[in-house]
Amino acid sequence: MPKMKDGCVKPARGPILEAAESTTPTGKALPREVGKMQARVGAEAPDFEANAFVAGEGFKPVRLSAYRGKWIVLCFYPGDFTFV
């Protein structure tokens, strides 16, 4: 594993709202408003960048749109070291 050099605090871009001009399959752009739910089935996925831990690689920022062109499963969960 490469050496992990990393500060205590490292900003990541979080939600990337510039994707506003992106269109859904129906050709209609979705409104992009910070903090409001934007995920809709049939519409383009809201893009984001987040800091990540990757086994064998260490810490790195991951941007969702870097996986464009592939099938993606994005799973949220409540917390590490919890029970289910």
Partner 1 sequence: MGVEVLAMSTDSRFVHKMWQEQELSKMVEGGVPFPMLSDAGGKIGAIYGIYDDAAGVDIRGRFIIDPDFVIRAMEVLTPEVGRNPDELVRQVKAYQHVAATGEVTPSGWQPGEVTLTPGPDLVGRVWEIWKP
Shortest Cβ 55–partner 1 spacing (Å): 5
Is the CB of residue 51 less than 8 Å from the CB of residue 14?
no
Footprint of partner 1 (CB under 8 A): 6, 12, 14-15, 22, 24-25, 34-46, 48, 50-55, 59, 62, 64-65, 67-82, 84
Shortest Cβ 45–partner 1 spacing (Å): 5
Is the CB of residue 59 less than 8 Å from the CB of residue 51?
yes
For residues 3 and 76, which CB has a smaller minimum distance to partner 1 in the complex? Answer: 76
- Residue pointed to by tokens 């510039």: 18
Tokens of 34: 């910070």
Coil, helix or strand at residue 80 = coil
For residues 29 and 52, which CB has a smaller minimum distance to partner 1 in the complex? Answer: 52
Shortest Cβ 29–partner 1 spacing (Å): 14
DSSP summary character for residue 55 = T
